[in-house]
Structure 1
Amino acid sequence: MKREAFNFKKHYFKEWNEVFDNPQQITVKSFITGQVLLNKRGALNPDHPKAGAINNELLEVPVLAHWIHHEKLGDYLIDTGLDSSYHNDPHGNMKGILAKLFIKTNLFVDEYKQAKNQNISYHIKKNRIKLNGVFFTHLHSDHIAGTRELPKNITYVTGKEEKYHDHKPFFYGDYLKGVKTLYEIDFEDTVDMPVLGKCIDIFGDESFWAISTPGHTKGHISFLVNSIEGPILLTGDVCFIKSSFKNGVAPSSYTEDVRVNQKSFDKIFEFKMVYPKIKVICGHEIS
């Protein structure tokens, strides 16, 4: 699989109110593709000064994919969730000479649950989606595994320097098998927008925005949809659950750089405070 730069037109907006005053015919629908267990003391950083007492408890949270429908440009996904392999296998058909060892010891492996007809291709068929492409928040397995049952002749986009963890022959899922080119969004030369910093207008019509939010992973991206129903912010895993927004506390575990992730979280938290009409959809919880 090769990587190439994702091409986009530079925008010159100075204020979000200018964007929000021009909403577009674009919609978001979230799909639950399964469930995964998170420890609350990982979903919320217990060492943060605002955290207070956080119990050591397991939370069963949804694994999500989001359908973006643009009236003129068609259908896209943000993340692909899980494929049907998770219905009968809590580890999603993990392969490799060390896979059994890692599963047995719970190293690098999460356990998932999936009801019948929750896999991403079921949602695609049920909603008669003609998929043009996928934008990944990041390349962790629960955000990309569904790619295994999607067409490969469409556009797949991630953040620059985002790592893909497939450690053949030892431990792998073949999540992106068949994807010939992975396009990368480079935020380096993009224009800063108020509060959020580096952002790009993906379609060039103010409808769909990518936001640089590193920390959970190096190339993590959050997304903003400028819908006629109101702006919608999809945080990805910079923020797992709604309790983060109540407390102002980002995740700790499952995160590559807790300090950088908190800085990214603080930006979207402030953004929500400045523009309270924004609807927030967290990485593993539907509002």
Structure 2
Amino acid sequence: MVFKRFEFVSLCILGFVLSCQVTSHNVKPYISDKTSATLPTSIKPNKYVEFQVVKVADWEASLDGLLDLDDPKAKAVGLKDRAEPISIYFYLVKHPKFGTYMIDSGMGKNFPKGEDGKSLVSSIVESQMHFDKLKVYESTKTYLQNNQIDIKGIFFTHLHLDHTLGAYEIDRAVPFYVGPGEVTDKQFINLFVQGSTDRLLGKNPNLVQFGFGKNTKEISVFDFFGDQSFFVISVPGHTPGSLAFYIPAKGGAHLVLGDTCHTQWGWKEGVIPGKFTSDPKLNRKSLDFLKEVAETHEIQFVYPGHQDRISTPLKK
């Protein structure tokens, strides 16, 4: 018994020592004290941004990663692990004064190969990602060029690989914004993905990490442009620095969930993701917060991380 306890403690210490950041790239801080714990109840933008969704690919993933199958609601309807259809998106936020920003990076033209023909992800990662099921419709660079879009920055909902697949094609001067602790927090799983994340972000990315206070595990809301047209919401749980976004619009706002909730069913039933999430308790807290936002604000559409948007009946 003593030996087993010693062995367990040794493994825990080893895991802690070997833990590393999700990327080895340098990251610059973006400190702001102009944050709040809640979204304003009365939002009146000086100007509205234009919001657009671009679907770049269809894919599939295991349902036990996308949903917590141990949740009573999942058990009640008999959900079992299976291959679930998902999609990859990026979003465009066009501000009339500050220019066009992206949320997530879409897909590179030659993915999973880079410009030099070498694979951008490790063989271990590739074996788990089922690229044979990936159907690409639109590459990020081609889309931006064809539509003559000059990107001013990219907000990453988080740095899981499926959200960074187009980053290496973006100009190196463009800031890549990530949530509090997304880079600087260390986790054991990063030992296996760090090299792939480094390559997908590209050489010397302009990586910027938000700092919304000392406690990175607290939900925070940040009015990024300072005119109530675009709110960045820190929703830790799925990853340490996961982000969601609230975008006011004349016909009702857009609420982008990131992977705090992957699926339409998960949002409607309030069920958090499964094994893809690093901290289920924090994910639950963040999902509950976003559900409250949807209940207390005029929302036109909700955007789960990997399935089509959900129309929300506007309040009378």
Alignment TM class, shorter chain as reference: 0.7 to 0.9
Rounded Cα–Cα distance in structure 1 between residues aligned with 2:193 and 2:265 = 37
1:50 offset after TM fit, Å?
Answer: 2.4
Q: Closer, same or farther in 2 for the Cα pair 1:7/1:75, shift >3 Å?
A: farther
Counterpart of 1:181 in structure 2: which amino acid?
A: N
Q: Quote the residue 1:238 is aligned against.
A: 260
For residues 114 and 151 of structure 1, do their structure 2 counterparts lie closer, same or farther at Cα, with a shift above 3 Å needed? Answer: farther
| Pick aligned residue for 1:78 from 98, 103, 122 | 103
AA aligned to 2:203 is: G
Give the match for residue 250 of structure 1.
272
Kindly state the Cα deviation for residue 55 of structure 1 after the two structures are TM-superposed. 3.0
Q: 2:170 aligns with which of 146, 150, 160?
A: 150
Tell me the residue number matched to 1:193. Answer: none
User: Is residue 40 of structure 1 aligned with residue 63 of structure 2?
Assistant: yes
Kept after mapping to 2: 8 A contact 1:23/1:226: no
- Tell whether 2:157 aligns with 1:137: yes
Deviation at 1:156, TM superposition (A): 1.4
How far is the alpha carbon of 1:13 from its aligned partner? 10
Matched, 1:279 2:307: no
Q: Distance in 2 between matches of 1:170 and 1:9?
A: 33
Matches within 5 A, 1:17-166: 17-19=41-43, 21-22=44-45, 24-51=47-74, 52=76, 53-86=78-111, 94-95=119-120, 99-100=122-123, 103=126, 106-107=127-128, 109-111=129-131, 113-115=134-136, 118-163=138-183, 165=190
The residue aligned with 1:3 is: 27
- For 2:180 and 2:37, the matched residues in 1 are separated by 23
Distance in 1 (alpha carbons) for counterparts of 2:82 and 2:257: 23
Structure 2 distance, partners of 1:60, 1:81, is: 17
8 A contact 2:246–2:255 mirrored in 1: yes
Unmatched tracts of structure 1, length 5 or more = 191-195
- Contact kept, 8 Å, 2:169 with 2:202, in 1: the verdict is no
2:191 & 2:169 partners in 1: Cα distance?
17
Displacement of 1:286:
2.3
CA distance in 1, matches of 2:195, 2:297: 47
Which residue identity is paired with 1:126?
N
CA contact (8 A) 1:87 1:115 kept: no
CA RMSD of superposed structures (Å): 3.0
Please state whether the residue corresponding to 1:151 is helix, strand or coil.
Answer: coil
Q: Go from structure 1 to structure 2 and tell me whether the alpha carbon gap of 1:101 and 1:263 turns closer, same or farther (over 3 Å shift).
A: closer
8 Å CA contact 2:36–2:221 kept in 1: the answer is no
1:2 maps to amino acid: N
For the pair 1:222 / 2:247, whether they are aligned, the reply is no
The percentage of counterpart residues that share the same residue type is 24
Equivalent AA in structure 2 for residue 81 of structure 1: G
* CA distance, structure 2, for counterparts of residue 76 and residue 67 of structure 1: 6
Structure 1 stretch 27-36 or stretch 269-278: which is displaced more? 269-278
Figure out how many residues of one structure are paired with residues of the other and give that number.
Answer: 273
Gaps of 5+ in 2: 1-24, 185-189, 310-316
Q: Conserved in 2, the CA contact under 8 Å of 1:41 and 1:54?
A: no
Contact 2:87 2:307 in 1 (8 A): yes
Q: Please say if residues 23 and 228 of structure 1, whose CA atoms lie closer than 8 Å, have aligned partners that are also in contact.
A: no
Q: Give the drift of 1:153.
A: 1.1
Closer, same or farther: CA 74–8 of 1 in aligned 2, 3 Å:
farther
Distance 1:13 1:40 in 2: 32
CA distance in 1: counterparts of 2:195 and 2:170, whole angstroms: 25
TM-score between both structures, scaled by the size of structure 1:
0.83
- Residues 110 and 16 of structure 1: is their aligned pair in 2 closer, same or farther, counting only changes over 3 Å? farther
Separation in structure 1 between the aligned mates of residue 97 and residue 291 of structure 2, nearest angstrom:
31
SS in 2 for 1:6: strand
> 2:12 maps to which residue?
none
Q: Tell me which structure has the larger Cα radius of gyration.
A: 2
Q: 4+ runs of 1 displaced by more than 4 Å?
A: 11-15, 164-173
